[in-house]
Chains A and B, each alone.
Chain A
Amino acid sequence: MGKKLLLEHIDVPGIRTLNVYRQKGGYETLKKALTSMTPDQIVEEVKTSGLRGRGGAGFPTGMKWSFLAKPEGVPRYLVCNADESEPGTFKDRYLMEHIPHILIEGMIVSSFALGANTSYIYIRGEYFYVARILEAAIQEAYDAGLLGKNIMGSGYDLDLYVQVGAGAYICGEETALLESLEGKRGNPRIKPPFPAIAGLYGCPTVVNNVETIAAVVPIVKDGGAAYAQIGIGKSTGTKLISASGHLNKPGVYEIELGLPVEEFIYSEEYCGGIKNGKQLKAVVAGGSSVPILPAHLILKTATGEPRLMSYEGLSEGGFATGTMLGSGGFIAMDEDTSIVKNLWTFSRFYHHESCGQCSPCREGTGWMEKILHKILHGHGTLSDVDLLWDIQSKIEGKTICPLGDAAAWPVASAIRHFRHEFEEYVKAGHSIKDVKHYYRINHLPEPAN
């Protein structure tokens, strides 16, 4: 049984309310931080813990915090990125919906550590009802003197606001999020300057994922060293994984980093194997942006070692035979899944969500989607597959923000590992109806023979 730090009390009835949360030891960490620690000590604990950003990039949180510029007389901000829009990822929603106070406690502790007196939770528009839950929880915290002026008699003031976005994937990119929070069009900014120097309203700002901020609570509670004990190598602590797809038990799981992928998929404690006794075909391990891997490469690395769920474990082998932990959106696909159809769905998403600011992403995402649509319906040619490869290579690394990479990687990996399937669609041509997947994707009954 893996250690649970964030979801320990998830099954306690009424944990959403302040009273029950406090009965389970809630806000004790805040008391400890405010009464017995200095802000620098908290930053040190986070550094010691080895906590890495849980939003996808995996940047060390303590290092990010220490980059924050601290000029005199300029306010600093902490912004929580709750714009969880990566297809396949729903861990933050689960956490905020059930234990909103762990996020709020994390926000207060982190804001104290960073010296911020105003903090924001930027939540995606589709999570409107979650925003209501958060607002209710924040109100409870204000009423109990945990927010506002002179928190717990420590002399520290903090105002916490929830801002609901309009529902754009791009606003999960930290600089686009800040633009949107300022009331502007959600276009990513050109970096540098990084938000740590000039972020919200031009002031130094730290943007962290929901799970990252929530993880600060157990780190401060038990100490960074204890947190660093959990996990493997540079992947310390626990991670929330949103498991979806053809699994017997999809859902949000808290795992200790370093868990073998095979155990995660097949053990009864976690996903309980593939639905209907079918074979695993492929896995997208960290949300739709990360490279897809075929079953043999997700279960074992290219060298035959068992693959582990950690930042390093999943990226072993580079993009040739590896992938990324990303945001932890674990999508499993069984043997009947069409990779081409799945890729088209992803590409359609990136086409729809491109902000249109820089040319490769604006034009390239739409182009890739159209080619995939063509191949999917039996009008493709073999040269279209090469063209797709060429287009993705001209998007990757050439754009302002990582959305371009996120659109290119799934295409590259699908062609790298499943080229035969594209060719199958192309060769079938107008007799596409002979391809097994055609019936499934078009919701037609399969012929009897």
Chain B
Amino acid sequence: MPKVTIDGITIEVPNGTTILEAARMIGPEVAPPTMCYYSKLKTSGGYCRTCLVKVSQGSEKDPRPMPKPVASCRTQVMDGMVVENNTSAEIQEARAGVVEFLLVNHPLDCPVCDQAGECHLQDLGYEHGKSETRYDFPRREFEKKDIGDKIQLHMNRCILCYRCVKTADQVTDCRVHGVLNRGEVAEISTYIEKSINNDFSGNVIDVCPVGALTDKTFRFQSRVWFTKPVDAHRDCDKCCGHVRLWYKGDDVLRVTARKDQWGEVADHDGKTGWICNTCRFDKKNTSDWVIDGPSQISRHSVISANHYNSLKALKASIDRQKAALPHGEKVTLGHGALDPNNESK
């Protein structure tokens, strides 16, 4: 089994493992970010260039470094390979460059985008992006399109990761979903703008890393951080039936597949847990489901932080202080003011 060293941590991995998968085995601290790679989809990856890493030693046999940064998602490890990811300033700069490229034509309409809060591009931007843009030209624009009656395609936000194309290719029966045109004006399309009459077409929403493909039954219903994710299942004759329900109060606002640590659709019984359109779009009553319990959400996620409650606590804190202060004096917030459990401030 080949041994690979990533950012100074050595791990032994099975033959044929990619650098990215090896890094994920070590842990999220060294795993490069991915926008187009999706471990559940064959031939995905290699397009976005965010997972570029530096190979400073090719292998034990041939220790020469690779001349250019490589896409870790499509490069297999060799025995004795040494990879630099977060430890290489050059790679960090290259990644910042890629983020800038991804954002030059992105509308940055996060305040009105349904994906905000669970958007991979947002996370990437926070981590590697700059606070202001150097691009002072009009951004490219496309018309919004409907893909069937339940999915909307907002091409302005698309980063052309090809994940939905691969999903349509590999998960659904017949492919009527692809890429039109070339270069900067390339766009995702269903060729004739007709619906994809397929039970699994809704999965393109789950794989989309940005807000380009959204669930029309959930559009503008709520910010995701105001909803509460709950795992549930039902007997479904088409899919695995294991889903995540997103509650606001007692209402199920949307149904998605369950996601794993890497933001990908989680496995169920050894297979990828894709869900069918019936489960996704038509079963929006609690009575349709058997509840398994609250979903595990990373504590770094804005969904987990539950800003809704934080803001309520903050408002209460400000109101209390205001009442105690003379008129016109400014309120200063103490440490812990944003903690929803902190009632004293």
Contacts and interface: CB of A to CB of B under 8 A. Distances in A.
A360 B74 CA distance: 17
B11 to A, nearest CB: 22
A446 to B, nearest CB: 31
Contacts of B134: 387
Interface string B163-206: 00000000000000011011111100000000000000000000
Interface in B134-182: 134-135, 137, 159-160, 162, 178-179, 181-182
Interface of A: 168, 170, 185, 190, 351-360, 362-367, 370, 387, 393-394, 397-400
A398 B104 contact: no
Given A360-B101, A394-B94, A400 B46 contact: yes
Given A363-B104, A394-B101, A398-B97, A356 B48 contact: no
Interface residues of B, number: 35
Contact of B184 (A168, A362, A399): A362
A356 B186 contact: yes
A394 B47 contact: no
Contacts of A393: 97
Contact of B98 (A170, A359, A366, A397): A359
B69 A397 contact: yes
Nearest to B103: A363
A353 B183 contact: yes
Contacts of A354: 182-184
Contacts of A351: 183-184
The 7 A-B pairs at the shortest CB distance, nearest first, are namely A394-B97, A356-B186, A354-B183, A363-B101, A190-B46, A397-B68, A356-B183
Contacts of A367: 101, 104, 135, 137
Interface string B39-79: 00000011111101000000000000001110100100000
12 contacts: A355-B182, A356-B179, A357-B160, A359-B48, A359-B49, A362-B101, A362-B183, A363-B184, A367-B101, A394-B93, A398-B69, A398-B98
A190 B98 CA distance: 18
A356 B184 contact: yes
Contacts, number: 89
A357 B178 CA distance: 13
Interface of B: 45-50, 52, 67-69, 71, 74, 93-94, 97-98, 100-102, 104-105, 134-135, 137, 159-160, 162, 178-179, 181-186
Dominant SS among interface residues on chain A: helix
A367 B104 CA distance: 8
Contacts of A358: 46-49
Nearest to A354: B183
B101 A359 contact: yes
A178 to B, nearest CB: 15
